[in-house]
Structure 1
Amino acid sequence: MARAKNFFKKLGCIFISPEITNDGRSLTLFYKYFLGGIFIRFLFMPFFFQRDLLSTYQRAADTVFNGNIGSDFQQLITNIIHSVYFLLSKTIFPFINSYKDILLNQDTWVSWVEFVKSDNIFIILAIFKFLYFIFDIACIFVILRLFYDGDTRKKLKIFKYWMFNPIVIFVLYLFARHDTIGLFVTLLSFLLAKKKRKYWAVLVLAIAEAIRFFPIMVLPILIIYLAEKKKDYMIMGAIGLSGLIAIEAVSYIAFGKSVIFSLLNAEHFNYIISSKLELIVHDRIFIFLVVYTVLILSFIKLKNKSFDFLMSYCAMIYLLYVALSYFHPQYLLWSVPFVLYVAGKQKNMYYFQWVQFLFLAVVFIYWGDLITKFLFASFDHRFFIYLPGPIPLINRFYDPAKFVNIFRSIFTGITLWMVYLIYLFNRKTSRENELSDKTGL
């Protein structure tokens, strides 16, 4: 019995953190938050459906049933992960094979209707989303190792904030997007950076970039944080771009298509430059790129590039992106772990995420029925198909576009205020560092 207890205690020290595992009261709170968060996740997992989840697994099914590994060449690694998971799932749960015709149906509307009215819809939704649950839990265990060593109270606070975070729960279990996979690899990269494994950290971030585009936004400040010599900038820059270069090479050789140029010409890249100032004729300024450049330069100027600053600058980058550019709801997930780091010292940052989410819920109307009334279609597809959507209802009283944009503007204001609070957090941290240096002298 004692051996088993010691074994689980050692396991807890590895996966949770020694600070929490070795303190009985903290461990009790950990289990309380963990079980509460799991309950909420399992509550939402089987019952809400967004069309992109089906599209993701349709590409995976095309790979598994037809051997078409390039069904999503722009997100090759993500598709491979889903394909392997789908293959394992249909082996464990043979009834999934009955969904073959639905998953291979190229008609978007017909496949959606057939899917939501299927007999096993709740089970299949839970199975499909369970992959994101695995990476969700993996993310929080990495975060526990990443943030606030030696401070049990702050670790527990951040753990609670993640387990009950409305953005995390919505993106993964209602909207059901796969960003948590790339986010997990990104967090691993920062864990390596914290341990000063500089080349490994940048290499892992390069893998994250190959999975999802967003990690490249924080590549410059990670390199600046880790670089000790001038040659480090060149070496880590090359390593940091190696993931994209590798995917580009594989895609071009295997499928005859360019990932990089297809992404640059896709609407998703245009989101980054969607906010702009029109000058004369063809002359325009892309607002996010201007602000992003200023952030990078300000990080370079910092005398003491501490881990606090690295985390807070990542938070500002992702917050400014959603504040100043067109975005999809899942993009906000990338800001969450970094904002929570600041929330460990400034509790109000977590509550501002709730306010963000409340205004974001109105902004959802942008995307129409697919992420409003159709989220509930698995309960009764006929009822929710013919139920009037929010846009016609709003249109009876006011212009829907203006209505949504009012809330979008407030959302941007709240997000910019969060950036300002992080700026104040940085100033306070800078003063503390200066005071510490003087005391040390």
Structure 2
Amino acid sequence: MKRWSGLPSKWRTATFDPVMVGIWSVGLAIRLIFLPVTFHSDLYQVYSRAALAVTSGDWFAWNSQLVAQLVHTAWFAFVRLLLPASGDLWSPTAGVAGLGAQPADIERFLAYRYLARALVLLKLPYLLGDALTGWLLLRLAPGGPRRWLLALWWLNPIVIYTSALFGRHETIWIALLVAGCLAASRQRRWLGFLLSALAAVARFFPAFVLPFYIVSLRRSWRQVLLVLGATTTVWSLIDLFFVVRSGRSPTLTLLGDYPHVRYLVALAVPVGDDTPLALFPLLYVLALCYWIARAPLGVDAYRAIAGALLCTVVALIPVHPQYVVWAIPFAVPVLARNGSGRVIAGLQAGLFVLWLLRWGASVTTELFLPLGQSFVATLPDPQLVAAALIPPAVWQPVVRAAFTGVTLWIGWLVLEEGVLDPSARRERQGELVGGRR
């Protein structure tokens, strides 16, 4: 098909590819099937807090995951106009830490006359996050096999489960992180830093890769110190604002109450005293020291360590299934390049589905509560079915170990291609990136 010659070159569309259109269409159709018929209470919690913020006018009442909550509040302020008779639909206790939405609140929501419309509208930003991330990945790795790259993201069961079934907002922030990497690859390092930092403020996982962004894309160590100082100052001012306003520090709240922080020290070995040695912090500090001392500079190096590190986080800490999607984006361009990578991606997705059984009905069959309690009651509990076939003490450790091994191997492949492979290794040019010696 010829290009439309009457448009400026930067507006012209690429050659029509029916396979790419088919991939986009199939992924969209799958999501549209699941959006109105699946539900998890996390979705209701975040939008109940948004409803409370909109009705009270206090958009900063919830200081945990503030950026993510503000985005949901802004979206809710718009979509509530499309949800008639929804004023008393939301939980008044969803914003109370340690209490949350009550079962009666959730039952009231599930009985809403326009439930299917509500679920589609509330999850729509997550669908857009999926699509935007796919579009950005195609531009981040333009030389790779575009069809496989898109399929491994857009049709990935892990991605579809997270956004369309579970109803989780992870891909919004994944899109920001990938956009930051793309901006850096186009010589817009500060824009890339701001996008990556915003993703880190919104979610837990990007915070781990942000120091590697600063180190990999530095022009001098003085610049690194200035960026770290400015970042610390801005965060301290934000923290102080909430301390003065509500008497609570977001930093101390995260360190004291946020379960993800405790996950970081869950994998530990005894060292002969009362304090066990936490493995993930140990590996993270070793990786950062190596990166500071010896790793190559540049966007490719950053993308490699970001992909490897996110795979390591997902593999080594006890994350819930809705967070596994963080291991996918930077790995997809590498896995799409050859048949073995595509097989490994399929193996990871299959093990993920098996690992869901460990969490039982709450993240599997009960997601279909919008279809009715009577319908869900006819579905067997996957965890009980698996336990009837193989003892949980046998299959759960095996599946978990296999998933961990595959995910760590994917992280190694990403790191190997971007940093360790001699053909991909770039010369270090003093302390400069894209500049003169």
Match of 2:407 among 401, 415, 431: 415
Deviations 1:230-250 (A, max 9, x none): 211112223444664354233
Match of 1:46 among 36, 50, 57: 36
Query: Which stretch has the larger CA shift, 192-201 or 273-282?
Result: 192-201
Distance in 1, matches of 2:159 and 2:127, equals 10
Aligned to 1:64: 54
The letter of the residue matching 2:263 is Y
Aligned to 2:210: 219
1:284 CA displacement: 1.7
CA RMSD in angstroms comes to 2.9
Residues 123 and 236 (structure 1 numbering): CA distance in 2 closer, same or farther, change over 3 Å?
Answer: same
**Contact 2:359 2:383 (C-alpha < 8 Å) held by counterparts:** no
Match of 1:84 among 60, 74, 78: 74
Q: Secondary structure at the match of 2:228?
A: helix
Aligned to 1:348: 340
**Contact 2:65 2:203 (C-alpha < 8 Å) held by counterparts:** yes
Structure 1: segments with no counterpart, 5+ residues = 14-20
Match of 2:199 among 208, 211, 230: 208
* Equivalent residues in 2 for 1:38-437, closer than 5 Å: 38-91=28-81, 93-95=82-84, 97-98=85-86, 100-104=88-92, 107-148=101-142, 151=143, 154-241=145-232, 244-266=235-257, 267-302=259-294, 304-385=296-377, 389-396=381-388, 399-400=391-392, 402-426=394-418, 429-433=421-425
- Compute the TM-score of the two structures, normalised by the length of structure 1: 0.85
Query: Which stretch has the larger CA shift, 231-240 or 381-390?
Result: 381-390
Structure 2: segments with no counterpart, 5+ residues = 95-100, 430-437
1:327 CA displacement: 0.4
Distance in 1, matches of 2:5 and 2:117, equals 35
Greater share of helix residues, 1 or 2? 1
Distance in 1, matches of 2:175 and 2:228, equals 21
Distance in 1, matches of 2:61 and 2:188, equals 35
Distance in 2, matches of 1:32 and 1:186, equals 27
Deviations 1:162-217 (A, max 9, x none): 22122111111011111122222222221222123333322332222221122111
Determine what percentage of the aligned residue pairs are the same residue: 24
1:9 CA displacement: 7.0
Residues 180 and 253 (structure 1 numbering): CA distance in 2 closer, same or farther, change over 3 Å?
Answer: farther
Count how many residue pairs are aligned between Structure 1 and Structure 2: 420
Distance in 2, matches of 1:137 and 1:423, equals 25
Query: Which stretch has the larger CA shift, 365-374 or 325-334?
Result: 365-374
Residues 28 and 395 (structure 1 numbering): CA distance in 2 closer, same or farther, change over 3 Å?
Answer: closer
Q: Secondary structure at the match of 2:277?
A: strand
1:218 CA displacement: 0.5
Distance in 1, matches of 2:26 and 2:384, equals 38
- Compute the TM-score of the two structures, normalised by the length of structure 2: 0.86
Query: Which stretch has the larger CA shift, 396-405 or 338-347?
Result: 396-405
Residues 301 and 362 (structure 1 numbering): CA distance in 2 closer, same or farther, change over 3 Å?
Answer: same
**Contact 1:186 1:204 (C-alpha < 8 Å) held by counterparts:** yes
**Contact 2:265 2:280 (C-alpha < 8 Å) held by counterparts:** yes
The letter of the residue matching 2:409 is W
The letter of the residue matching 1:209 is A
Deviations 1:214-233 (A, max 9, x none): 21111121111111112111
**Contact 1:312 1:341 (C-alpha < 8 Å) held by counterparts:** no
